[in-house]
Amino acid sequence: MARAHVCPDDYHYSWDRARSPVLEIDDGDTVAFELPEVFGGQLTRDSTVADLGTLDMKRVYALAGPVAVSGAEPGDALEVEVLDVRTRGWGWTATFPGFGLLAEDLPETRLHIWDIPDGDFAHFADVARIPLKPFCGTMGVCPDLEGRHPVMPPGHFGGNLDFRDLTRGASLLLPVQIRSASFSVGDPHAAQGDGEICSSALEAPSSATLRFRLHKDRPIPAPQAVVPPSGLQAGVDGGRYVTLGVSGDLMTAARDAARAMVEHMSRTYGLEVADAYLLASVVVDLRIASIVNKPNWVVAAHLPLGIFA
């Protein structure tokens, strides 16, 4: 019988296959996580722009875990179902010199503290009303690499994907790299645009509840997902299946995402590969999911599932 767990509030700041798990779970179990803002709680509601200059950058990308999944082996896929993500009523967005898509145009440091008391909307300078779509910017299994490695950039193991569609009701599939998978999560966001162009979203401490399912002998080349409807495809109901490409070259990332999608469509719907390719050109949306986690970029290929109803 599936069990419910609470992950200890024990955070780490790197990928390391030698790190001992803080929790061991079975297929089908759920885990509740308490996640600080991305700097591990160094920023608060009362922080000012001056505080950005005193941050300990060794404490960026605070991750909860690792969580060991019993029976997980390389060649399996770990499905992470997002049951809930809830903010704690506030968040921040900032710019840092040298970071972001327009770092050369806008080099100054800036900090905006958001008040989000109702959990549904945030207001910006009495100009905009932003609907909240909380998600975890970083979810990944530990890569099979020696030593410690920074959380950013993302990779084929997942990690700092900043893929904003991983909200409540979505499922993320990750290719298991090492025995027991060693899953970690962090970097909670209350809202984000595709690309996260200034290098931070609406960063907000949050709680998250995730369910884990193990798919034996299901090798996938990179993260894939099933996400709720978003209105991208007018007139098409249902969610979307998403394949991700992660690469230091944006064109390579786009090709990897498209290649994985064509293979998925061919296998799932019994199409010849060439026919799946033709259909993908008509219905699949290619979107830049993240373009600031240098040196790797993330491209997402979205397939509307409602067309197969």
Q: Provide the H-helix boundaries in the chain.
A: 250-269, 273-283
Question: pLDDT band at 8, cuts 50/70/90?
Answer: very high
**Identity of the highest mean pLDDT range in 47-61, 89-103, 280-294:** 47-61
**Tokens linked to 196:** 């996260």
What are the residues facing 90 on neighbouring strands? 115
The amino acid present at 188, given as its one-letter code, is: P
pLDDT of 236 > 60? The answer is no
Bigger pLDDT: 82 vs 97: 82
Asked if the model's pLDDT at residue 122 lies above 80, the reply is yes
Confidence of residue 233 (pLDDT cuts 50, 70, 90): very low
Query: By percentage, how much of the chain surpasses pLDDT 70?
Result: 96
Task: Report the DSSP pairing between strands 23-25 and 285-290.
Answer: unpaired
Task: State the average pLDDT over residues 231-246.
Answer: 71
Residues 260-301: pLDDT tens digits? 999 998 999 888 888 888 878 777 888 999 888 889 999 999
Residue 230: predicted pLDDT:
65
Q: Which domains does the chain have, with CATH numbers?
A: 4-217 (2.60.120.580), 240-308 (3.10.28.20)
Q: Are the C-beta atoms of residues 134 and 86 closer than 8 Å to each other?
A: yes
Structure tokens at 304: 């509307």
Q: Predicted confidence band at 232 (pLDDT cuts at 50, 70, 90)?
A: very low
Report the pLDDT averaged over residues 214-239.
79
Contact 296, 247 (CB under 8 A): yes
| 235, pLDDT greater than 70 | no
pLDDT number for residue 182: 98
